[in-house]
Amino acid sequence: MAIEIINLSKSYGEKSVFDSFNCKIEEGEVTCFMGQSGNGKTTLLRILSGLEQPDGGQITGLSDRRKSFIFQEDRLCENLSAAANIRLVCGKSLKMNSITEAMSAAGLGAECVYQITRTMSGGQKRRIAVLRALMAEYDILFMDEPFKGLDNETKEKLMLYTKEKIKGKTVIFVTHDKTECEAINGNTVYNI
């Protein structure tokens, strides 16, 4: 079922972020939202994911859908290991070999699996945050600049892994970089 946004409006005080915004997000596709900072891309994801309420308009196609979210911030539990952070979202039934394989595909060595995240680099933390969301069970994945802060080689490796993991899934992706959208097969691009 497609997600339809009809006449969405949202303001913060005197600043109007959306005024009668409309779009359609097809099921099983990657839809990219691009635009300058401050144009409302993150606000749109927060509204669609239920973390924030719009001032007006209607959104259909989201009821009873499981959601996963890659935030701009890593939002990891710093006192837990990488594996524990992933299992916190994905459940204890997730097998350790699945975590190890995913981490390896993202360029993280076996030594990182049980490493406490507060001792990890920013790039390592970013990859754990992305893997955690990708390995969760979801119907819709929200990605808010998931590849920011990564060097080119790491970014390419993580984008390739992400592209494989999201095949056939409904993904709503916010980025400033059109090449990122192309790298994960973004089908529809909205500039906001």
Torsion of CA 6, 165, 133, 146, to 10 degrees: -70
pTM, rounded to two decimals: 0.94
What the block records as the tokens of 61 is: 């196609």
**pLDDT number for residue 92:** 80
Asked if 151 contacts 122 with a C-beta cutoff of 8 angstroms, the reply is no
Per-residue pLDDT tens listing for the chain (192 residues): 899 999 999 999 999 999 999 999 999 999 999 988 888 999 999 999 999 999 999 999 999 999 999 999 999 999 999 999 999 999 888 899 999 999 999 999 989 999 999 999 999 999 999 999 999 999 999 999 999 999 999 999 999 999 999 999 999 999 988 999 999 998 888 888
**pLDDT number for residue 190:** 86
Residue keyed to tokens 């959601």: 67
- The closest alpha carbon to 173, from 88, 89, 90, 68, belongs to 68
Torsion of CA 182, 184, 188, 192, to 10 degrees: -80
Residue keyed to tokens 């710093």: 78
